[in-house]
Structure 1
Amino acid sequence: MTNISVLDPSASPLDYYGFELRRHREAAGLTQKEFGDVVNYTGSLVGQIETARKLPTDVFSERADAALGTGGLLSRLVALVLRSQLPAWFQQVAELEVRAVEICSFQTHMVHGLLQTGAYARAVLGTMDRSELDDRTAVRLARQRIFEKSEPPVFWLVLGEAALCQEIGGPETMRGQLAHLLAFEGNPRINIQILPFSAGTHAGLQGSYDLYRFASDPDIVYTEGYGMGHPTANPDTVKDCSLRYDHLQAAALSLRDSAGLIRHVMEERYGDQRDSDRHPVA
């Protein structure tokens, strides 16, 4: 007889998801294999998700909802599941992202996680640790759902020019990442300004940080170190970082000129640079 794990749905969002998936599947009178055939996944994968040993994906959840007639239950749950898989020290920050009405970010050398492509995120997360890389990449990308809300936050990013030149994941990944940034051109809720090398000394020399603003709560500043985050609502810190952000935006290129620089770097640095004999150019 097959040993069926008994899940405690209150143990975690992942356990709750698995419990609900099994409950609805069994109510439909389907075995794991039969259900897997319907949604085009293996019965083994269905079993792993039901026993909280594998993370569900958006696509799986959408297919499962359609097959089981759950009214979008699993698709709603999967966002909570993925957020719960973030490192414990970062989960509070993910909650800030969800609640904020405006996010102002300054990044010195790397594209912010909310605007990363899958390939870029995978390259970043795979540095020093390639374990469960697919799942960790999916978890990071799931944070970007905040832009799909009926009232998404306004996002401002001042990005150091170094981030355009730091080759993360190789030329193809960088070209895709920069093209992704250009895709937001003209979107009034996602605004990207490049702080050029020519800016010289600037207000952000102490490092990257994020500033979260809310409808009725105090602003919060977030900075990050190795494996730890530091959110604070200290009024003096918030005031100082807000002033610094104003100066960073003033020193950065305009939205239009920023897009022009991104496009230039994408084409000149990460384009298909080959000579007439089809040999790579040194």
Structure 2
Amino acid sequence: MTLKDDTILMSNRVAVVTGGSKGIGLAVSTALVAREVKVVIGDVLTEQGQEAVNDLNQTAGYNEAAIFQYCDVRRYDDLKKLFELAETRFGGVDIAAMCASVGSNLDGIFQDPMEDEAERSILDVNIGGVIKGNRVAVMHMFKRGGGCIINTASMAGLMGDTAFASYASTKRAVMGWTQSLEQLRTVNIRVNAETNTARRRSSIEESRHPCFNVKDASPQISMHLVVEAFLACITNHEYAGETLMVTPSGFLAYPQAELPESCVSESMVQALLDYYPKASEMNKQQLMSATQLYFSKL
């Protein structure tokens, strides 16, 4: 789709972007502002986040194309304040891009020291932050009548290596979490993930682990294609519970695993057909109660 087509579809929508002060988050924020979407950036990098917002507003030509709010995605309180700001300032939330992510030298399973807090951070940000961010986003989107969430995974989640085992595990978990929320499409909330190998410097890379020789030799993916995958998750309503795998030539939905025939029976298929409508109605009723409780406590 062209920029003009995207703008027609997205103009005046409101987006929350975690990790939006640099990298993929900033690239996504820039693309959204170019399409006249109001953007609320949440990040722990306050100075960089404010600079990013200033640049976005200058490019847009007015002061509130984008705003910044400090947000540690490990904390529900911070995420609630981030989404509350979007609702207070712009009227609600239509899009949530979960781009906050960390790597660590502690990814290597053989490295010392074995520190609980340091190792917990990569889990709490990369998968905990996604789960918490999605849960808060769903409350605001259900109230608004629908929305779109895009979670950031990684090709590392499809491959894995002892050098970045913790990181790879969190990104694989993001894909599983995203697939689990496919049923939310029945309440007009679509949750998808995006995975890529766009070049980003990490703390492991500084030590030049041999695995990065493989990465350097691999076909590289442009940030433009990564952003296009995010935009497709927003504009293409066929995507729900999918992980879009970005390649040097474009992107495609990562094929989901199918059960072996020995694990499937006619009675099971019928049970699933009976289950899905009931689950959809149950989800709707639970969301109504949860949303009412959530906003009563704000």
Tell whether the structures are fold-level matches, with TM greater than 0.5.
Answer: no
Structure number having the greater helix percentage: 2
**TM-score of the pair, normalised by structure 2:** 0.26
